[in-house]
């Protein structure tokens, strides 16, 4: 780098640091959405073609600040962005992510005498299991991904090859990854099906990507219990798995921890795991955000059995509050991943060979051949907060959701759509402090109204956004978001429109609750 380039970098760096510092101090009061004018300005500022002569570093940064950045979401990592289940970025994770770009290491091959990066990633994946009170022995196949979708792809790919390797009509050890799609002339219908109660769309995408198929013939909905619409009917499941085993079809059972609209949890994961094991079905648990209920002692019963799955998906950029994009994937044995992702013996790239080492190279454990050091910001966040710090974040977020739900219940203008659980079987488990830890219960969590951190609602029949008007939920969502003070998402629940608040940001606090109540009150009373 020439002295001129170095000087330009230093000037631009100072500008960037000042911008980030200002943003950090004002994020709680920043309008979440850009204005329409800002979006138009950003779009018009984009060059129609690549310029022949570059702007240089400093001029480019100034252009980004003045013309490009104003047109994007201004505060998705702020305390009142409730659209997706997405956390903010903890201070340690944010600073480390900046360092990460500076070092720009491609973490793919385990070379212990060259770099410690792969060993750092391996330990970070273990620490995440520790946070969830899951034994490290439960899931010895582990990798960092881009998010829950990529983790679900890996889970279904492992399931696919495991089921084919033990398939009634195929040679023992058959590998689709190595030999391609099999011919199964003795079987009517698809060779593998996926059974689930409310599978997330990412499961369907993963099923399509790994060649299982995502249509209704392949991905089939299980029946729920009559007394719990989020719990699998165990008798129906066992009957179905018995039938499929008799005909020799492979079955993947997907189990979601935290339903996407309500954040709700069904009962019975340990029993589902036992039935799947009895009938040789693969159990994949998608715990992208709901799995982190296991961090908090008084919520851990919600994820009982999380350590019994064959594969597990978690999302770091949700409740762990680390930057996009960070996902975690776990399965029981490393060979399930390497069977799918490693080249045939002797055909791997020679220049990437590392010999027989105790830590598998991420190259053969994940989707990408090149990837950034995603584990580093996660490690920094885990070290900076420790278990107590994450318990505090999740407790505060759940408490916030409970308070919003109480506000909606007390309002004549709103209808709370989450199943009220505080008087049900789940609520009974909150009467005393946790015997294993001696930790007392936060009153707001003990008397839960909603399952976890998601509040689902709509306007009541007495409001200016009545459910009889099928456009009400969409219009209510737009009105709330137009304030710039908070952001919610619209959805459909039981065939009708609804509005959804998802709370998972470490910054969200008491001041934000006041603002949320004012906005919800104001849009109904036409004060906003």
| Least confident interval from 74-83, 274-283, 348-357 | 348-357
The CATH topology of domain 379-524 is 3.90.1150
pLDDT band per the 50, 70, 90 thresholds, residue 350: low
* High-pLDDT (> 90) share of the chain, %: 80
Q: Which pLDDT does position 348 carry in this prediction?
A: 65
pLDDT at 354: 60
Q: Helix 510-524 crosses helix 375-410 at what angle (to 10 degrees)?
A: 50
Mean pLDDT of 280-290: 97
Task: Give pLDDT, residue 353.
Answer: 63
Q: What percent of the chain has pLDDT over 70?
A: 93
| Buried b / exposed e along 288-311 (16+ C-beta atoms within 10 A) | bbbbbbbbbbbbbebbebbbbbbb
Between 441 and 503, whose confidence is greater? 503
Q: Is the pLDDT of residue 298 over 70?
A: yes
Kindly state the average pLDDT of the residues 193-197.
96
d(CA 212, CA 320): 31
Q: Hey, what are 400's tokens? A: 């916030």
How far apart are alpha carbons 61 and 68 in whole angstroms?
10
pLDDT confidence tier of residue 292, bands split at 50, 70 and 90: very high
Once rounded to an integer, what is the mean pLDDT over residues 80-97? 96
Predicted pLDDT at 113: 87
Cite the beta strand spans of 322-444 per DSSP E: 327-331, 414-416
Is residue 200 pLDDT above 60, yes or no?
yes
Task: Kindly state the average pLDDT of the residues 76-97.
Answer: 96
Spell out the domain ranges in the chain: 3-30+34-72, 379-524
For 485-489, what is the mean pLDDT?
Answer: 98
Question: How would you class 435 by CB atoms within 10 Å of its CB: exposed for 0-12, middle for 13-18, buried for 19 or more?
Answer: exposed
Average pLDDT for the chain: 91
Q: Which of 117, 116, 215, 200 is nearest to 151 (CA)?
A: 200
């Amino acid at each position: 780098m020439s002295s001129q380039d170095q000087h330009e970098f230093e000037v631009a760096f100072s500008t960037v640091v000042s911008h980030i510092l200002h943003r950090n101090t004002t994020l709680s009061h920043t309008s979440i959405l850009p204005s329409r004018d800002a979006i138009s300005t950003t779009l018009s500022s984009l060059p129609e073609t690549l310029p022949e002569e570059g702007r240089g570093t400093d001029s480019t940064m100034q252009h980004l600040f003045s013309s490009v950045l104003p047109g994007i979401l201004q505060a998705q990592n702020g305390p009142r962005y409730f659209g997706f289940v997405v956390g903010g970025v903890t201070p340690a994770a944010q600073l480390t992510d900046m360092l990460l770009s500076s070092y720009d290491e491609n973490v793919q091959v385990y070379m212990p005498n060259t770099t410690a990066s792969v060993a750092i990633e391996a330990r970070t994946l273990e620490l995440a299991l520790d946070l969830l009170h899951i034994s490290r022995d439960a899931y010895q196949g582990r990798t960092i991904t881009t998010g829950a979708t990529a983790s679900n792809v890996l889970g279904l790919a492992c399931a696919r090859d495991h089921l084919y390797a033990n398939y009634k009509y195929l040679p023992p050890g058959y590998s689709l990854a190595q030999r391609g799609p099999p011919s199964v002339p003795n079987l009517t219908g698809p060779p593998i099906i996926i059974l689930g109660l409310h599978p997330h769309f990412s499961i369907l995408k993963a099923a399509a990507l790994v060649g299982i198929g995502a249509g209704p013939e392949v991905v089939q909905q299980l029946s729920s219990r009559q007394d719990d619409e989020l719990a699998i009917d165990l008798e129906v499941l066992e009957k179905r798995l018995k039938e499929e085993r008799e005909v020799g079809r492979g079955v993947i059972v997907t189990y979601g921890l935290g339903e996407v609209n309500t954040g709700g949890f069904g009962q019975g994961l340990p029993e589902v795991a036992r039935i799947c094991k009895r009938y040789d079905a693969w159990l994949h648990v998608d715990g992208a955000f709901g799995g982190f209920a296991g961090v908090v002692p008084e919520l851990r019963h919600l994820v009982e059995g999380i350590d019994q799955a064959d594969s597990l998906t978690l999302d770091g950029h949700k409740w762990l509050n680390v930057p996009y994009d960070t996902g975690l994937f776990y399965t029981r044995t490393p060979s399930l991943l390497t069977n799918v992702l490693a080249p045939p013996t002797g055909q791997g790239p020679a220049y990437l060979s590392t010999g027989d080492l105790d830590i598998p190279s991420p190259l053969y454990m994940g989707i990408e051949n090149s990837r950034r050091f995603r584990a580093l910001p996660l490690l920094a966040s885990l070290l900076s907060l420790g278990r107590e710090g994450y318990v505090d974040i999740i407790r505060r977020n759940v408490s916030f959701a409970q308070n919003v739900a109480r506000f909606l219940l007390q309002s004549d203008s709103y209808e709370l759509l989450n199943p009220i659980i505080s008087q049900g079987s789940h609520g009974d488990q909150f009467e005393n402090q946790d015997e294993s830890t001696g930790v007392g219960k936060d009153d707001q969590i003990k008397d839960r109204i909603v399952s976890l951190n998601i509040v689902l609602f709509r306007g009541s029949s007495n409001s200016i956004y009545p459910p009889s008007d099928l456009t009400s939920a969409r219009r209510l969502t737009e009105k709330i978001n137009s304030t710039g003070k908070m952001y919610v998402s619209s959805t459909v629940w039981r065939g009708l429109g609804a509005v959804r608040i998802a709370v998972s940001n470490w910054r969200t606090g008491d001041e934000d609750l006041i603002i949320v109540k004012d906005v919800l009150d104001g849009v109904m009373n036409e004060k906003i």
